[in-house]
């Protein structure tokens, strides 16, 4: 996780998608109250060090305008962090690189001390996000590389996967479809590593609505789902061609339904309860 004290941290619920939002420490309009040790720290290029107060131990080397950090400059934090890039009226603004003491790094656009525009954030464990930022959060098109090799390519909104996206796992699983608040939501296709597949509706990460699931043994269900279980009206077809058409509840035959063999003969038609016919 991001440990930089200069940034607020927001937990985005998915694994470890933590984003620096904005600088907590912002220079006052009279930043040069300690010591300019070389150059022109008012209007020009100079080196300034802080020896008292909250920024004690920090150092800035770069351009200034009207007594403010403005232009290109390097800021060294006392905790080991470092920023190299553009400034505007004391704010990180433009293109820059922020390197954390623990090795995490952001390279890209900034606006008023927040990550903004195209950028890449690399975490200490190797995870990485490359894409668009708005006001310090993933927002727009982006790619996230997880430490275990999983990869997501798609849309983000307000720091979360939202819109259309594709997620690939190293075991061969793959989801292609719609997302909302970091979860499958809307229409999507989930391919299982062993070859099975679900095509249909999702709600908050669960199969919900109308969908079709095909298993590797050839069996198949077409119908309604609720909380990732067959629920409502549907048709379940066995590998030998036998099929059940009717009601489901919590993944089992329930309600009115018919069991039909592969030749089209009805084996039972009527009431069912928990996969058993009611006579």
What pTM value is reported for the model?
0.84
The boundaries of the domain holding residue 80 are 21-124
Per-residue pLDDT, 29: 36
Instruction: Output the domain CATH number for residue 64.
Output: 2.20.110
If one counts the domains in the chain, the total is 1
DSSP states along 83-123: EEEEEETTEEEEEEEEE-TTS-EEEEEEETTEEEEEEEEE-
Q: What's the CA gap between 1 and 220, in Å, rounded?
A: 43
206 vs 54 pLDDT, higher one: 206
**Within a domain: residue 91?**
yes
**Within a domain: residue 71?**
yes
Per-residue pLDDT, 54: 84
CB atoms within 10 A of CB 171: 12
Under the banding of pLDDT at 50, 70 and 90, the label for residue 27 is: very low
Which is nearest to 152 in space by CA: 194, 195, 183? 183
Phi, psi at 160, each rounded to 5°: -130, 155
**pLDDT tens column, 151-169:** 999 999 999 999 999 999 9
- Please state the rounded mean pLDDT for residues 232-244: 98
**Within a domain: residue 206?**
no
Per-residue pLDDT, 30: 43
Under the banding of pLDDT at 50, 70 and 90, the label for residue 196 is: very high
**Within a domain: residue 175?**
no
- Please state the rounded mean pLDDT for residues 198-225: 98
C-beta of residue 139 within 8 angstroms of C-beta of residue 132: yes
Q: Tokens 């036998």 sit at which residue?
A: 242
Which is nearest to 22 in space by CA: 127, 103, 120, 98? 98
| R_g of the chain computed on alpha carbons | 28
CB atoms within 10 A of CB 271: 16
Q: What's the CA gap between 264 and 200, in Å, rounded?
A: 28
**Within a domain: residue 255?**
no
- Please state the rounded mean pLDDT for residues 72-95: 97
**Within a domain: residue 109?**
yes
Q: Which stretch of 10-14, 70-74, 193-197 has the lowest confidence by average pLDDT?
A: 10-14
In three-state secondary structure terms, 234 is strand
**Within a domain: residue 272?**
no
**Within a domain: residue 36?**
yes
Q: What's the CA gap between 54 and 51, in Å, rounded?
A: 9
């Amino acid at each position: 996780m991001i440990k930089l004290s200069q940034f607020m941290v927001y937990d985005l619920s998915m694994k470890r998608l933590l984003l620096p939002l904005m600088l907590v420490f912002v220079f006052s309009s009279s930043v040069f109250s300690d010591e300019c040790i070389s150059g022109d720290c008012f209007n020009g290029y100079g080196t300034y060090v802080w020896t008292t107060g909250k920024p004690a131990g920090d150092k800035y080397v770069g351009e200034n305008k009207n007594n403010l950090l403005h232009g290109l400059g390097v800021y060294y934090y006392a905790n080991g962090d470092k920023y190299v890039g553009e400034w505007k009226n004391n704010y990180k603004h433009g293109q820059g690189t922020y390197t954390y003491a623990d090795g995490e790094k952001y390279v890209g656009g900034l606006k008023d001390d927040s990550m903004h525009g195209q950028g890449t954030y690399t975490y200490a464990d190797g995870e990485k996000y490359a894409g668009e930022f708005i006001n310090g959060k993933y927002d727009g098109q982006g790619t996230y590389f997880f430490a275990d090799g999983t990869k997501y390519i798609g849309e983000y909104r307000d720091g979360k996967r939202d819109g259309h996206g594709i997620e690939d796992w190293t075991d061969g699983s793959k989801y292609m479809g719609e997302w909302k608040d970091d979860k499958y939501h809307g229409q999507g296709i989930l391919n299982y590593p062993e070859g099975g597949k679900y095509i249909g509706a999702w709600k908050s990460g669960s199969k919900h609505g109308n969908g079709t699931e095909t298993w590797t043994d050839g069996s198949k269900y077409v119908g309604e789902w609720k909380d990732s279980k067959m629920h409502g009206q549907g048709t379940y077809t066995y590998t030998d061609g036998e099929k059940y058409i009717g009601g489901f509840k919590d993944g089992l035959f329930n309600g009115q339904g018919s069991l039909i063999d592969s030749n089209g003969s009805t084996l039972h038609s009527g009431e069912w309860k928990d996969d058993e016919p009611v006579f």
